[in-house]
């Protein structure tokens, strides 16, 4: 069973509560996402799971192994990719990969089938030094190095941060493939739109976990009406809606405004009416299906 | 064992890939030897001096000529008053004023007793001491000459009393380079051991690569050995290179057993690498490591007897020197190279730094383990 059980884990850095009573179960062969803004405690949680940090209280069991007592055994079955690029910038792609393969007592050849997917993207640059790769390539190389010893459990800390949208898509495709060959993958990201690509996601904020659900469950459980609003003066509209006494949450979403009302029986007409009285013109209001992002932004607001 | 081999491979790959490394390894010893061995010398030549001669006699002129006849002194001029001559001292034009009073010759011939005043610029105490010594030996020679000339050649008169003369063992001609070169080799080996090793480990912290290493099955001791061993090897090669340069360029004698030098150096390097490792555990960036290494290095170097003899230092400083690796190493390497000392002669010092190395490596490793 390659699963992860985190129970009542807390961690303090000086006066800062980085993690407060975290409880989390990641099941075997799951692609599990931890979504949260910077400073929410994702990295601390991942470092504890990867045996690089020791929690103050609580227990962490990875595949039934204790993260403090059995850290050596855990290190053999996990592949960890830190948020910060941490390969040797002065070694080439090939040399980095070879080094990590050898220190894990294996060879690139032996586990080539696992890394093949990722390595094909890197192959044209294999003689290039890692420090000279683009952001997306660096992350792919880091993933390769984390995979080269055929881990059962992957812990990826913000692998797509600072990576262009195309590479981000490629990266997620790779993660889905890894899941399909039986790996358990736990990945963190500050991008809420990536939540829908996970099997289950959790939202982290200020060291707390807000909910653990599948993306579909999150949307289903939202239970509020959400409107997309477009006018010719978006900033003013945002201001008026923020002052509106029935507003639950309102935020800019691309070039439109998403608005959530606290009333169950709200109609487009009532909103149009309100905005008209504030002398806004060209108002288009549509009721829409909420996205995971809408749900998370509202959830974070509630807490 | 295999893991260490892979780490070593990686380290050497990185070391030789960095642009600065090859010049550091091969040009640094060359430059240090060429510049320091030639420049750092105790000998002072061409000491400019001026003369205030109130006597203007044959003897006074003869006396002054004894000074500029040597290549140590250079006459810059005559002055009519001490006051004027003092200006020369103030403006650094002269370092020495010879003040010959009136009746110099008269007193000398009639009373067999006369006086001369030396005014020496003592901004640099070492130099002033040397100028003083040089001057005194010239005065003595002059004395002897006067006595032979004036006191009727009665040799029996002269030979009473004890004559002191000397011969310099192990460095007959007091060749300063012979003394300096081994010292510079010490500085060189220390530099590599202390700076490069400590910084190399901190670099892994700084670039974050240590995270990836820590989740791998690499054990701490393997990592430490893999990190320190390359610089142990490089420093020994550097030492060999430096000794060969010293012999070829400066004719420095190598009387003792070269293997003994390397035995001493390898033990010494363990100690220095231990200190480097310790520095790396208390710092987070290469800059911090560099700063602390410099701080330690300066103290070690200046107290280490490379430039100024340890015996000149106050007692408390000599006590501190028991803990100064450079003091032990520079003493041993000079003993072996210049005097041909064997293992028995240096055994005590060698044991001391060996013990010191074990303690230091032990402390550093414990601290390293705790931190990560």
Give the tens place of pLDDT for each residue, B83-141.
888 888 888 889 999 999 988 888 888 877 888 999 999 888 888 888 888 898 888 88
> Residue B155: is its pLDDT beyond 60?
no
**For residues B51 and B98, what is the distance between their CA atoms, to the nearest angstrom?**
5
B233 and B323 inside one domain: yes
Q: Are residues B149 and B218 in the same domain?
A: no
**Contacts of residue A90 in chain B, CB cutoff 8 Å?**
14, 17-18
pLDDT, position B171: 76
The count of C-alpha atoms lying within 13 angstroms of the C-alpha of A183, restricted to the half-sphere facing its C-beta, is 26
Q: Give yes or no for residue B219 having a pLDDT over 70.
A: yes
- ipTM for the complex shown: 0.77
Cβ-proximal residues to B53 (8 Å cutoff; 6+ apart), any chain: B60, B61, B64, B78, B100
Instruction: Note down the domain range covering B194.
Output: 2-40+173-371
Name the residue with higher pLDDT: B268 or B181.
B268
pLDDT tens readout for residues A220-278: 888 788 888 888 888 888 888 888 888 888 888 888 889 888 887 778 888 888 888 88
Q: Which of A46, A76, A77, A88 to mutate to test the interface with B (most CBs of B within 10 A)?
A: A88
| B6-24 mean pLDDT | 87
Q: What is the mean pLDDT of residues B170-174?
A: 74
Shared-domain flag, residues B7 and B150: no
CA distance B331 to B319: 15
B227 and B349 in a single domain? The answer is yes
| Chain A touched by B16 (CB under 8 Å) | no
Q: Which residues of B touch A84 (CB under 8 A)?
A: 208, 211
Question: Burial letters for B297-326: b for 16+ Cβ neighbours within 10 Å, e otherwise?
Answer: beebbebbbbeeebeebeeeebeebeebbb
Res B212 pLDDT > 90: no
- Which chain B residue has the Cα nearest residue A95? B10
Examine the domain organization and report whether B264 and B188 are in the same domain. Answer: yes
The answer on B125 and B207 residing in a single domain is no
Q: Name the domain boundary from A155, A180, A213.
A: A213
pLDDT at B163: 66
- Kindly state whether B81 is in contact with chain A, defined as any CB-CB distance less than 8 angstroms: no
Give the number of A-B residue pairs with CB atoms closer than 8 Å.
Answer: 62
User: Taking CB atoms and an 8 Å cutoff, what residues of chain A touch B8?
Assistant: none
The pLDDT, as a whole number, for residue A303 is: 63
With tokens 């200006």, the residue in question is B87
Confidence at B371, pLDDT banded by 50, 70, 90? low
Say whether both A232 and A191 belong to one domain. Answer: no
Is the same domain home to A122 and A207? yes
Name the residue facing A87 among B2, B17, B209 (closest C-beta). Answer: B209
Domain extent at residue A14: 4-213
The alpha carbon of B28 is separated from its chain's Cα centroid by a whole number of angstroms, namely 17
Task: Write phi, then psi, for B319 (nearest 5 degrees).
Answer: -65, -45
pLDDT score, position B20: 81
Mean pLDDT by 10 residues, chain A (303 residues): 89 91 92 91 92 91 90 90 90 93 90 88 92 90 92 92 88 91 92 89 90 87 85 84 84 87 81 82 85 84 71
- The overall average pLDDT reported for chain B is 86
| Whether residue B140 is found in the same domain as residue B191 | no
Q: What pLDDT shows up at residue B370? A: 62
pLDDT over 90 at B328, yes or no = yes
Residue by residue, DSSP assigns B249-263 as HH-----S-HHHHHH
Task: Give the mutation candidate from B9, B201, B212 for the A interface (greatest A CB count, under 10 A).
Answer: B212
**Cβ of A82 under 8 Å from any chain B Cβ?**
yes
| Whether B325 and B217 share a structural domain | yes
Residues of chain B with Cβ-Cβ distance to A103 below 8 Å are 3, 6-7, 213, 216-218
Mean pLDDT for B232-260 is 91
A51 touches chain B (CB under 8 A): yes
Q: What is the mean pLDDT of residues B59-73?
A: 89
The answer to whether residue B283 is domain-embedded is yes
Number of domain units in chain A: 2
Identity of the residue in B14, B208, B215 whose CB atom sits nearest the CB atom of A84 = B208
Residue B253 lies in a domain: yes
Same domain for A254 and A291, yes or no, is: yes
Measured CA to CA, the distance from residue B359 to residue B52 in angstroms comes to 62
- Name which of B215, B223, B284, B369 to mutate to probe chain A: the one with the most chain A Cβ atoms within 10 A of its Cβ: B215
Residue B372 pLDDT exceeds 70: no
Q: Chain A neighbours among B 140-159 (CB < 8 Å)?
A: none
Q: Is the pLDDT of residue B157 over 80?
A: no
Q: Are residues A226 and A206 in the same domain?
A: no
């Amino acid at each position: 069973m390659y699963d992860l059980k985190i129970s009542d884990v807390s961690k303090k850095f000086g006066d800062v509560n980085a993690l407060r009573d975290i409880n989390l179960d990641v099941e075997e062969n799951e692609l599990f996402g931890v979504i949260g803004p910077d400073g929410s405690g994702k990295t601390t949680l991942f470092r504890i799971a990867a045996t690089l940090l020791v929690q103050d209280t609580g227990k962490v069991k990875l595949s039934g192994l204790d993260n403090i007592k059995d850290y050596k055994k855990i290190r053999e079955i996990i592949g960890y990719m830190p948020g910060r690029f941490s390969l040797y910038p002065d070694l080439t792609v090939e040399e980095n990969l070879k080094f990590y393969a050898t220190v894990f007592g294996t060879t690139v050849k032996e586990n080539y089938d696992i890394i093949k997917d990722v390595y094909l993207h890197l192959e044209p640059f294999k003689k290039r030094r890692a420090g000279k790769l683009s952001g997306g390539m660096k992350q792919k190389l880091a993933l390769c190095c984390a995979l080269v010893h055929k881990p059962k459990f992957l812990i990826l800390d913000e692998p797509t941060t600072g990576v262009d949208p195309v590479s981000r898509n490629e990266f997620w495709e790779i993660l889905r493939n890894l899941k399909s060959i039986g790996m358990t993958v736990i990945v963190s990201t500050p991008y809420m739109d990536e939540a829908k690509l996970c099997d289950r996601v959790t939202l982290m904020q200020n060291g707390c976990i807000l909910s653990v659900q599948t993306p579909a469950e999150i949307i289903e459980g939202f239970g509020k009406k959400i409107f997309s609003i477009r006018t010719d003066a978006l900033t003013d509209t945002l201001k008026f809606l923020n002052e509106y006494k029935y507003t639950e949450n309102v935020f800019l979403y691309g070039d439109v405004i998403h608005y959530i009302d606290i009333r169950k029986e709200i109609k487009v007409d009532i909103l149009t009416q309100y905005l008209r009285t504030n002398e806004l013109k060209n108002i288009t209001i549509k009721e829409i299906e909420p996205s995971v992002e809408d749900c998370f932004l509202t959830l974070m607001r509630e807490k | 064992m295999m893991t260490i081999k892979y780490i070593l491979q990686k380290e050497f790959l990185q070391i030789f890939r960095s642009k600065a490394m090859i010049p550091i390894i091969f040009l640094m010893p060359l430059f240090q030897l060429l510049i320091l061995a030639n420049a750092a010398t105790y000998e002072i030549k061409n000491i400019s001096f001026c003369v205030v001669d109130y006597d203007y006699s044959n003897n006074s002129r003869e006396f002054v000529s004894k000074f500029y006849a040597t290549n140590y002194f250079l006459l810059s001029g005559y002055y009519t008053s001490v006051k004027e001559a003092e200006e020369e001292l103030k403006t650094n034009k002269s370092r020495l004023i010879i003040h010959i009073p009136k009746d110099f010759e008269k007193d000398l011939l009639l009373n067999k007793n006369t006086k001369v005043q030396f005014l020496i610029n003592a901004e640099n105490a070492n130099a002033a001491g040397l100028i003083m010594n040089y001057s005194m030996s010239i005065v003595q020679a002059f004395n002897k000459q006067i006595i032979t000339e004036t006191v009727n050649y009665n040799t029996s008169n002269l030979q009473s009393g004890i004559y002191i003369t000397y011969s310099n063992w192990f460095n007959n001609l007091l060749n300063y380079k012979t003394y300096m070169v081994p010292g510079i080799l010490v500085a060189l080996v220390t530099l590599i051991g202390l700076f490069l090793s400590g910084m190399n480990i901190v670099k892994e912290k700084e670039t974050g690569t240590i995270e990836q290493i820590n989740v791998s099955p690499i054990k701490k001791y393997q990592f430490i050995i893999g990190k320190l061993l390359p610089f142990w090897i490089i420093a020994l090669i550097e030492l060999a290179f430096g000794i060969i340069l010293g012999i070829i360029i400066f004719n420095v004698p190598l009387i003792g057993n070269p293997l003994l030098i390397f035995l001493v150096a390898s033990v010494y390097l363990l100690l220095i690498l231990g200190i480097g490792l310790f520095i790396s555990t208390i710092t987070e960036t290469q800059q911090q490591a560099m700063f602390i290494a410099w701080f330690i290095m300066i103290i070690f170097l200046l107290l280490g007897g490379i430039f100024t003899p340890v015996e000149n230092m106050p007692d408390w400083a000599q006590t501190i020197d028991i803990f100064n690796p450079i003091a032990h190493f520079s003493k041993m390497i000079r003993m072996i190279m210049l005097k041909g000392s064997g293992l028995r002669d240096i055994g005590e010092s060698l044991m001391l730094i060996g013990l010191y190395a074990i303690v230091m490596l032990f402390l550093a490793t414990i601290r390293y383990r705790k931190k990560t």
